[in-house]
Amino acid sequence: MDILEEHDVGVRLPEGLSLLLHQAQARGEVHGLRVARGALALSHLLFADDSLLFFKANVGEAQAIKRCLTDYEKLSGQTINYNKSNICFSKNTQQVERNVVATVFGVHQAHNFGKYLGLLAFVGRNKRAVFAYVEDKVRKRIGSWNKKLLSRAGKEILLKSVAQAMPTFTMSVFLLPDSLCKNLERVMNRFWWRNGRDGGGIHWLAWDKLSVPKKYGGLGFKDLRAFNVAMLGKQGWRFLTDPNSLVARIFKARYYPNTDFLNASVGNNPSFPWRSIMAAQGLINRNVRRRIGNGDSTLVWGHPWLMRGSEPRILSKKPAHLGEVKVSGLIDPTSATWDTPLLNELFSAVEVEQILAIPISPAYDDM
Residue 236 sits in the same domain as residue 334: no
Mean pLDDT of 268-293: 89
Within-domain flag for 3 = no
How many domains are there within the chain? 4
Residue 217 placed within a domain:
yes
Which pLDDT band holds residue 98 (cuts at 50, 70, 90)?
Answer: confident
- Within 10 Å of residue 240's Cβ, how many Cβ atoms? 15
Structural domain boundaries, residue 189: 129-222
User: Per-residue pLDDT averaged across 232-253, rounded?
Assistant: 92
161: pLDDT confidence band, cut at 50, 70 and 90?
A: very high
Average pLDDT over residues 313-322: 86
d(CA 141, CA 145): 7
pTM summary value:
0.79
Residue 210 has pLDDT above 50, yes or no: yes
Q: Are residues 14 and 115 in the same domain?
A: yes
Q: Are 62 and 102 members of one domain?
A: yes
Is a pLDDT exceeding 90 seen at residue 26?
no
Give the separation between CA 312 and CA 310, rounded to whole angstroms. 7
Is the pLDDT assigned to residue 297 strictly greater than 50?
Answer: yes
Residue 171's pLDDT is: 93
What gap in Å lies between CA 67 and CA 61, rounded to an integer? 10
Q: How far apart are CA 144 and CA 140, in angstroms?
A: 6
Return the closest-CA partner of residue 54 out of 91, 5, 15: 5
Of 222, 257, 274, the one marking the end of a domain is 222
Query: Other C-beta atoms within 10 Å of 62: how many?
Result: 23
Tell me which range, 127-136, 162-171, 324-333, is most confidently predicted by mean pLDDT. 162-171
Decide which of 120, 154, 177 is a domain's last residue: 120
Q: Which residues pair with 109 in a beta bridge?
A: 87
Domain boundary at 120, 145, 179, which?
Answer: 120
Same domain for 366 and 314: yes
Residues 6+ apart with CB under 8 A from 232: 171, 172, 173, 175, 276, 277, 279, 280
Mean pLDDT for the stretch of residues 75-94: 84
Please indicate, yes or no, whether residues 53 and 92 belong to a single structural domain of this protein.
Answer: yes
59/103 same-domain check: yes
In a domain, 168, yes or no: yes
